[in-house]
Amino acid sequence: MKGFVPTPPATVELMVGKLFQEKGPAEKSRLLDPGCGKGAFIEGVIQWCVRQRIPLPRIIGIDSDPRHIADAREKFSKYSSIKLILGDFLTPDDLGPFDFIIGNPPYVPITDLSHGEKSRYRNIYQTAQGRFDLYLLFFEHALKHLGPDGRLVFITPEKYLYTDTAASLRRLLSHFVVQEIHLQREDTFRDLVTYPTITTVTHCVRGGETRAILRDGTIRSVNLPGHGTSWWPTIHQHGDGQGRFYEIRLGDICRRLSCGVATGADAVFVRKTVELPAAIRKYAYPTIAGRELVPDSVILPTNKYSMLVPYSRDGHLLKEHQLGALKQYLEQKAVRDRLLQRTCVSRKPWYAFHENPPLKELLRPKILCKDITPVVKFWADRTGLLVPRHSVYYIVPEDPAKIEGILAYLNSNTARAWLFANCQRAANGFLRLQSHVLKRLPVPPELAPPGTQLRGLAVEVA
């Protein structure tokens, strides 16, 4: 069952509305639903036509999963104008041109394709470049089927708007009119966070601007660049307000952007600094938790708590005989029992942390923020000595000399506005500052070290 993610009814209705926005279908119009699954869009088209009291167009749905096609055939058995084909949409065919195409193509990463599939697709599709995803190929193949004046509405991950891998799709789309890009909420498909977007394309000679609808509701008309360059900065007009757009992301200028250290037993490893016996102080590092990051304060409480770390500075777990007085502390019955309750001990030594702390990367000048917060606020650990706990995200700039500039930018209204528009919300409405979102934050180019590669764009969220 490759890439089956049914489209929720509200999204189906929105997309069918976009498909027929300029002109509804005639009885002889041809409509294609590639990767039709159980027929969510076909149902949406039927409902639209019933509401408009018009006859159904000729609909073709195609899916490679026999169970979906069987379900759909049963559901639509009374409609003679609906044809359901069991087959591979990506195999060259003679389905012919269509007036309307609507779909939610499968999102299948290259890693889930067989060797044979990969090389076959690479031979046929210009979008099968680099670490391609099946939805890019569906987009390309659907565009080939779009007749003159035809209209296509697809929901896909937004990644195609900016990744290097999708440059060939953007180039291909520059021969069509991209009428609208409508970014959808990240929870559109519930737990599957794909950052979806609905794209409306027409096959006509009229050029013109693209209507971009952003997640915060902003609507703007933009001229998308041709030649396959990223559309993201143009769509967001995220820049200095003077026509300069930011291409570089926070992920591109940081050597590490991660969640803090998870010991699996903070009650054992995190102690009040003043209460630490002198003999184990050499294993202690000042540590900080999210609750200690108080938005009103610019000063970090750096010495209240310490983390006992049974690892060397280069991140290797110390041998038991190297633990000295720390071993005596950890071997006390209540302490050891607590450590043994952790699930990680089935695969790790009893005194290891739940996750190995990347101390070498982490013990550097860095920027910190809470993982869940009512306001966006960042602090600098200029000494580089603090070990952030699991409720803190830390950002290690590639160039330590840029830390003040990056901090000032992260605390600016520009960055805040972007984070408010792009972060998920926790149940209480607080923002979740997850690393995959922080990595996508556009940053001014002067914060980047010379020769920065756009890694953050290539390695995108799933």
Ligand X SMILES: C[S@@+](CC[C@H](N)C(=O)[O-])C[C@H]1O[C@@H](n2cnc3c(N)ncnc32)[C@H](O)[C@@H]1O
Residues 374-403 that bind ligand X (CB under 6 A): none
- Applying CB under 6 A, does 113 fall inside the site for ligand X? no
**Nearest residue to 249 via CA among 415, 417, 388, 372:** 415
Question: E strand or H helix at 217, and its extent?
Answer: none
The smaller minimum CB distance to ligand X, of residues 104 and 258, is found at 104
Extended beta strands in 246-376, E state = 254-259, 270-272, 284-288, 305-308, 366-370, 372-373
- Applying CB under 6 A, does 172 fall inside the site for ligand X? no
- Applying CB under 6 A, does 64 fall inside the site for ligand X? yes
- Residues with Cβ within 8 Å of 27's Cβ and at least 6 positions away in sequence, in order, are 54, 55, 56, 57, 58, 81
> 267 in helix, strand or coil?
helix
- Applying CB under 6 A, does 90 fall inside the site for ligand X? yes
Nearest distance, CB of residue 179 and ligand X, angstroms? 21
- Applying CB under 6 A, does 367 fall inside the site for ligand X? no
Q: Applying CB under 6 A, which part among 52-60, 88-96, 171-179, 227-235 lies near ligand X?
A: 88-96
The smaller minimum CB distance to ligand X, of residues 196 and 286, is found at 196
Extended beta strands in 42-138, E state = 58-63, 82-86, 98-103
State the distance between the two ends of the chain, measured CA to CA, in whole angstroms.
18
- Applying CB under 6 A, does 62 fall inside the site for ligand X? yes
Nearest distance, CB of residue 5 and ligand X, angstroms? 4
Count of residues engaged in binding ligand X, rule: CB under 6 A: 22
Q: Applying CB under 6 A, which part among 21-29, 62-70, 119-127, 335-343 lies near ligand X?
A: 62-70
Report the b/e string of 115-153 with b at 16+ CB within 10 A: eebeeebeeebebbeeebbbbbbbbbbbbebbeeebbbb
Q: Which of 5, 124, 325, 458 binds ligand X (CB under 6 A)?
A: 5
Tell me whether residue 387 is exposed, middle or buried, using C-beta atoms within 10 angstroms of its C-beta: 0 to 12, 13 to 18, 19 or more: buried
The smaller minimum CB distance to ligand X, of residues 40 and 177, is found at 40
- Applying CB under 6 A, does 45 fall inside the site for ligand X? no
Q: How far is CA 295 from CA 17, 225, 281, in A?
A: 44, 40, 30
- Applying CB under 6 A, does 6 fall inside the site for ligand X? yes
**What is the C-alpha to C-alpha distance for residues 359 and 260, in angstroms, rounded to an integer?**
11
Mask of contacts with ligand X, 24-43, x by CB under 6 A?
-----------xxx--xx--
- Applying CB under 6 A, does 89 fall inside the site for ligand X? yes
The smaller minimum CB distance to ligand X, of residues 194 and 435, is found at 194
Which two structure tokens, joined as six digits, stand for 439?
Answer: 């990595």
- Applying CB under 6 A, does 68 fall inside the site for ligand X? yes
- Applying CB under 6 A, does 82 fall inside the site for ligand X? no
Nearest distance, CB of residue 145 and ligand X, angstroms? 13
Length of the chain: 462
Q: Applying CB under 6 A, which part among 85-93, 191-199, 295-303, 378-386 lies near ligand X?
A: 85-93
- Applying CB under 6 A, does 104 fall inside the site for ligand X? yes
Relative orientation angle of helices 413-422 and 403-410, to the nearest 10 degrees: 60
- Applying CB under 6 A, does 127 fall inside the site for ligand X? no
Nearest distance, CB of residue 135 and ligand X, angstroms? 8
Q: Which of 25, 44, 57, 106 binds ligand X (CB under 6 A)?
A: 106
Tell me whether residue 276 is exposed, middle or buried, using C-beta atoms within 10 angstroms of its C-beta: 0 to 12, 13 to 18, 19 or more: middle
Q: Applying CB under 6 A, which part among 99-107, 202-210, 282-290, 320-328 lies near ligand X?
A: 99-107
Specify the amino acid at residue 453: Q
What's the half-sphere exposure (Cβ side, CA atoms, 13 Å) at 99? 14
Report the b/e string of 73-93 with b at 16+ CB within 10 A: eebbeeeeebebbeeebbeee
Nearest distance, CB of residue 198 and ligand X, angstroms? 12
The smaller minimum CB distance to ligand X, of residues 67 and 425, is found at 67
Relative orientation angle of helices 9-19 and 40-52, to the nearest 10 degrees: 60
- The residues that touch ligand X, with contacts defined as CB under 6 A, are 2-7, 35-37, 40-41, 62-65, 68, 88-90, 103-104, 106
